[in-house]
Amino acid sequence: MKILPYAAAFGLAVASCSLAVSAAEITGAGATFPFPIYARWAEAYNKETSNRLNYQSIGSSGGIRQIRAKTVDFGATDAPLKGEDLEKDGLVQFPVVMGGVVPVYNVQGVPAGQMKLTGEVLADIFNGRISKWNDAKIAQINQGVTLPNATITPVYRSDGSGTTSVFTTYLSQVSESWKSSPGAGASVQWPVGQGGKGNEGVAALVQQVQNSIGYVEYAYAKQNNIPFAQLQNKNGKFVSPDAKTFQAAAADADWKSAPGFGISLTNQPGDEAWPITAPTFILVHKNPEKPEQVAEALKFFDWAFKSGDQMAAELDYVALPPQVEDLVRVSWQADIKDKSGQPLFKK
């Protein structure tokens, strides 16, 4: 049969494509919030060790679902799981890096850095109570800025998202009416606006639609030069988002106060604190089905803790404080074990 030599050649080509067969390949999926930094780390890690970390950003809820279904080696989420959920699914949760959620806008005549907002006003915009950019409440805090008489298009996440979780948690903390409805969560009933998929989708939509406002992880705003707004923090000061203000928010955090390090960093006190800061988490199984894969994943995160700070800073993420990284390593050794009870992470 004439087809045989072609098939053989093809098979050979296929096999030779995956050259470094001995290199590990780890699959993770989840939050779009940390996607830029995970992708950057994965590239660098691959250059150094030829191990491949394939991370697909499908949203925090996607990460939770896939790790529960055991179709990935680790899941990633911005909204930490509660203690009882971790127990129920046999998962271990740990933070990796911190970042901030920023309101981004595309308003006619208002260049970058000129927009100030308060938590209440932000909540009212997304609630639909404030519907025009030149509303009195917005004009009040933005003296000297010409706001157009245009309808506001809020842009939100159409997929289940930890970024939404963080954002709505903040809004619930600063606005009573938001707290009762729609409340906080990975996926809420947005009264007005348009949905974009992933941080990427929201960023793209805000860029395209005039007079819109959305919320994205800071790296997305910075990398794409989308104007972001200053926010008033708990101490009443207007701050701009950057590594400094994120760090200020995390300064006094008590990481042990929630199971799986699942604390919230929104609306923290401090003059310099950015009000919508959040850590992002990784989920792995306590006794994973494929222990070698998870061991490789832990090696990757250990490498990221040791050598990834510079890259994180370049993208304006905030690395965890060294003592927290040590706490995380202790948790790995104590909680993540293979079938024979041996810890998967070795120092």
Partner 1 sequence: MVALSQKLLVTGMDKPSRRSLPLSSDQVFRLASLGSALLVLIVLAGIIGSMIYGGLPAFREFGLGFITSSVWDVQRDQYGAWVAIVGTLTSALIALVIGVPISLGIAVFLTQLCPPWLKRPVATTIELLAAVPSIIYGMWGLFVFAPLFAQYVQIPVSSIVEGLPILGTILYARVPSGVGVLTAGIILAIMIIPFIASIARDILDQIPPVMRESAYGIGCTTWEVVRYVLVPQVGVSIIGAIMLGLGRALGETMAVTFVVGNANRLSLSLFDPGSTIASRIANEFNEALGLQLNALMALGCILFLVTFSVLVLARFLVARATVR
Partner 2 sequence: MDTMSQTTTSPPVAWGRVRRSRYVADRALKAICILFTALGVFVLGWILLMLLYQGVSALRPEVFTRTTPGPMTQGGGIANAIAGSLVLTFLGIVVATPVGVLAGTYLAEYGKGSKLAEVIRFVNDILLAAPSILIGLFVYTLMVQPMGGYSGWAGGVALAIIAVPVIVRTTEDMLRIVPGSLREAGAALGAPMSKVITKITWRAARAGMVTGILLATARIAGETAPLLFTALNNNFWFRADLMGGVANLPVMIYQYALSPYQNWRELAWAGALVITLTILALSIAARLLFRKETAR
Given the complex with partner 2, which of 29 and 86 has the nearer CB atom? 29
State the Cα–Cα distance between residues 331 and 57, nearest whole angstrom.
Answer: 25
C-alpha atoms less than 13 angstroms from C-alpha of 170 in its C-beta half-sphere: 31
State the Cα–Cα distance between residues 189 and 213, nearest whole angstrom.
Answer: 17
Strands 212-217 and 116-117, sheet pairing: unpaired
Q: Which does 14 bind (CB under 5 to 8 A by kind): partner 1, partner 2, none?
A: partner 2
**Could you say which residues in the range 271-330 bind partner 1, by CB under 8 A?**
none
Taking CB under 8 A as the rule, does residue 76 contact partner 2?
Answer: no
Given the complex with partner 1, which of 186 and 243 has the nearer CB atom? 186
Q: Which residue has the tokens 């917005």?
A: 138
Q: Which of 50, 134, 149, 208 binds partner 1 (CB under 8 A)?
A: 208
* Cβ partners under 8 Å of residue 147, min gap 6: 107, 109, 110, 133, 134, 138, 139
Q: Which does 72 bind (CB under 5 to 8 A by kind): partner 2, partner 1, none?
A: partner 2
Taking CB under 8 A as the rule, does residue 68 contact partner 1?
Answer: yes
Q: Which does 183 bind (CB under 5 to 8 A by kind): partner 1, partner 2, none?
A: partner 1
Shortest gap between Cβ of 37 and partner 2 (angstroms)? Answer: 9
The count of residues interacting with partner 1 (CB under 8 A) is: 33
Q: Which of 106, 118, 142, 153 binds partner 1 (CB under 8 A)?
A: 153
Taking CB under 8 A as the rule, does residue 205 contact partner 1?
Answer: yes
Q: Which does 96 bind (CB under 5 to 8 A by kind): partner 1, partner 2, none?
A: none
Q: Which does 137 bind (CB under 5 to 8 A by kind): partner 1, partner 2, none?
A: none
The count of residues interacting with partner 2 (CB under 8 A) is: 39
Taking CB under 8 A as the rule, does residue 223 contact partner 2?
Answer: yes
Taking CB under 8 A as the rule, does residue 112 contact partner 2?
Answer: no
Taking CB under 8 A as the rule, does residue 69 contact partner 2?
Answer: yes
Beta-bridge mates of residue 103: 215
Shortest gap between Cβ of 336 and partner 1 (angstroms)? Answer: 23
Contact set with partner 2 (CB under 8 A): 10, 14-15, 17-19, 21, 25, 27, 29, 35-36, 39-40, 42-43, 46, 52, 54-56, 69-72, 196-198, 200-201, 203-204, 207, 220, 223-224, 226, 289-290
